[in-house]
Amino acid sequence: MTDKILNCIDLEIALRQFQDTITTSYNENCPLTVRRNYRNIFWWNRDLAERRKKVRKLFNEAKKSGNWTDKKNIDRLQ
């Protein structure tokens, strides 16, 4: 805006133009995208869910005990 701001009304007009310019610029350069639902992944199945559950349980046990080389835990995975 090249006009001088002489009063509060001029300031409000200038501010509104500035906000509109920023909003328009953002909308042109950052288009909205559709968010994908990653919960329903086609390759994930019940068998993988059960295996993940076992592995997480063993991981948490190993983390608590500090024993990361326990052979019996590896046997429980198979």
Contact of 61 with 73, CB cutoff 8 Å: yes
pLDDT at 34: 84
* Segments of the chain with pLDDT less than 50: 1
Q: Give yes or no: residues 76 and 51 share one domain.
A: yes
Residue 38 inside a domain? The answer is no
pTM: 0.43
First to last CA, the chain: 72
For residue 6, the enclosing domain spans 1-32
- Residue 53's φ and ψ, nearest 5 degrees, are -60, -45
Residue 37 inside a domain? The answer is no
Four-CA torsion 48, 54, 56, 60, nearest 10 degrees: 180
The model's pLDDT over 42-60, given as tens digits with 9 standing for 90+, comes to 888 899 999 999 889 888 8
Count of domains observed in the chain: 2
pLDDT at 2: 55
- Residue entry with tokens 């639902």: 37
pLDDT at 74: 65
